A and B are shown apart, each in its own frame.
Chain A
């Protein structure tokens, strides 16, 4: 179905090719997973499938691409649109119409498909992706997962044989992501659709994959069955990491595949590290019985929390649980109906937002809303100017801060030319340049690849040791397990559980890490924790550390 033969592709004006000698084949009905760090050419590879590269982006392509027997370069994207459906990262950026049905019909109208056939096709699409109940809804009223399903249905409108998806779940919360991937798996099984998927949250998609294409930048790509490629991957999901450490073969791709190995092991009782809550000093930020009404509904109801210097607190909860509203209330962007927010001893409601934010850094979900200057360094100076500060007032010069964030060589770059991870660090720098004592992060790992996530983790550890109070809103349980000292679980506007990450995460099935699911009831969350108790490569029990 798909054949790449020594494909090399260079963007216009670039000195280095982004794809170098890539060769692989995908048979009909297979799911191929394209992995690799960001900026390595995953998106470009997908765009070669339907001729967007080079027709849309320019550049030179050598080698041979064949998709459904056609050469995309010769056919152009218009010709390929009947054979390859394409789904992009951000579902909203692909919509032309404002209603579900109309969006599905758009491509059909465009191709002048007669009405009776169009009706049949729209009904089929609605059925395939379970969208029938949503057919007359406005797209703006849908959740992220529903939107992405509409985008997939729209891409399938012309009945293509191949569906290419460019990180379709990176902007979604875990439930929505699961929903989208389940739909894809069904399409693959029921329709025999060939799927090519770029993704960096491997733990979710590995179980479906028939084939892996691991792009490594300058090194030659590794292509093959997942079991063959997985040992090469540095960014494997936790089960695979554990499997590698314990010498399991073949490497498990999912919890299900790992269970037989676990059953053969005699696993001793783990001990959860006792809840040492660092409640030594005076809290930096506190809420007292906070209630916030947002859009006419109580989004936060009677929340009392405290954030202490030198700790990382993870705030977990489903979409719409009120996490973001709580963060916004903490810095005074929304005003509480009842209760108070205190910054030290001062009431936040009495302070200017700007004044609060000089002491409490708040990074909103979308870093793009912050950035608008011509250079990265300018972004930092704009914040300083806003606060009426001069660089001389600071103990940490803006240039040094950039260097700490690994952006030293990007100081003069246009922020919008950077990758998602880099943009986010620029936004962080623009927030942190005033050296606040607390930092509130809203979904900071959304859209980040493994390396960017590790970089962020390292920074969080460093700042915590320096005494910063950090509150982290996240869906990423693996991250929370690795970094948090304390976890809060929010449901319907209330804090329903609070304690060490082990206590909170291990007892809430929705927020189990892979290790917690593999070893239920033990209270182990990360591979490191498991390895502390289980080190024998043959599956024996290790002596207690």
Chain B
């Protein structure tokens, strides 16, 4: 009975936080429909605040009560590795938009599960923000999205292709999708700030379609090219390196997931 309640509460938290997270990204499209005559100058901030709260709640739920030493150590080390990769990305001006961080987020999420993948994504962004001095209001959004990347990779397990040939293709496909989508979501977050949606002089009466068009213009102008490069980068990295990486991760998974159970006497 109590278990069922626990599962229900947990699911509710997952549902609400993720839903608000999604709305937090897409609200600019709905805003003109909702607000009657006065839009608020602070509405992007209101959403940042709400998404921030939801993210914290989600993080607490994902963390659980009993993160064990193995989980902490493995996550910490892999996050450091990934954050360094991201640092290298910012230090070497390579092809714009290419980011190596999604490779490990996707592969570890796929091998170690949704919880690990979510934290891997979220904390990679957090740690690299800490070491490169990139803490800002954008951080909860970045963490949220990168967390989704890792969690969805675990979702690929439903295809039951673990250890078989098709799994790399699945990861490649997901990597391509996220390469495009991540940039798009980050832009959605940034857009209200850049476009100053709050001003009623022109938002009043701006239709859903017009809002979308404006975003499309913003997106194409600022980042489509980058995101395509990003998606391509994910595809290349995953198709070349996913197989050996998955092999290495699986070799170690056995050692990390062992739980000692006292023998019944």
Contact = CB atoms under 8 A, between A and B. Distances in A.
B68 to A, nearest CB: 10
Interface stretch (A49-57, A218-226, A471-479, A483-491): A49-57
Contacts of B244: 374
A374 B247 contact: yes
A57 B247 contact: no
Contacts of B251: 414, 416
A58 B247 contact: no
B260 A54 contact: yes
A55 B260 contact: yes
B258 interface: yes
A320 interface: no
Interface string B15-48: 0000000000000000000000000000000000
A58 B251 CA distance: 16
Contacts of A416: 251
Interface in B246-265: 247, 251, 258, 260, 262-263
Contacts of A521: none
A12 interface: yes
B262 to A, nearest CB: 8
A64 to B, nearest CB: 14
Nearest to A53: B260
Contacts of B258: 12, 57-58
A372 to B, nearest CB: 8
Nearest to A373: B244
A60 B264 CA distance: 12
A57 B69 CA distance: 13
Interface string B42-61: 00000000000000000000
Contacts of A374: 244, 247
Contacts of A56: 260
A51 B251 CA distance: 24
A416 B262 CA distance: 29
B69 to A, nearest CB: 8
Contacts of A54: 260
A199 B205 CA distance: 79
Contacts of A414: 251
A42 to B, nearest CB: 20
Nearest to A414: B251
Contacts of A12: 258
B52 to A, nearest CB: 27
Contacts of B247: 374
Contacts of A55: 260
Interface string B213-227: 000000000000000
Nearest to B70: A56
A54 B247 CA distance: 27
A12 B260 CA distance: 10
A416 B251 CA distance: 10
Contacts of A58: 258, 260
A12 B244 CA distance: 26
Nearest to B247: A374
B54 to A, nearest CB: 29
A80 to B, nearest CB: 14
B264 to A, nearest CB: 13
Interface centre among B251, B258, B260, B262 (most CB of A within 10 A): B260
B246 to A, nearest CB: 12
A56 B251 CA distance: 17
A55 B262 CA distance: 9
A62 B244 CA distance: 39
A414 B251 CA distance: 10
A508 to B, nearest CB: 41
A12 B258 CA distance: 10
A88 to B, nearest CB: 13
A60 B260 CA distance: 10
Interface in A85-141: none
A60 B263 CA distance: 9
Contacts of B263: 60
Contacts of A57: 258
A414 B260 CA distance: 25
A374 B251 CA distance: 10
Contacts of B262: 73
Interface string A45-80: 000000000111110100000000000010000000
Interface string A415-456: 010000000000000000000000000000000000000000
Nearest to B260: A55
B76 to A, nearest CB: 8
Given A57-B258, A414-B251, A416-B251, 4 more contacts: A12-B258, A56-B260, A58-B260, A60-B263
Instruction: Give me the 8 closest cross-chain CB pairs, A-B, nearest first.
Output: A55-B260, A58-B258, A58-B260, A54-B260, A374-B247, A414-B251, A56-B260, A12-B258
13 contacts: A12-B258, A54-B260, A55-B260, A56-B260, A57-B258, A58-B258, A58-B260, A60-B263, A73-B262, A374-B244, A374-B247, A414-B251, A416-B251
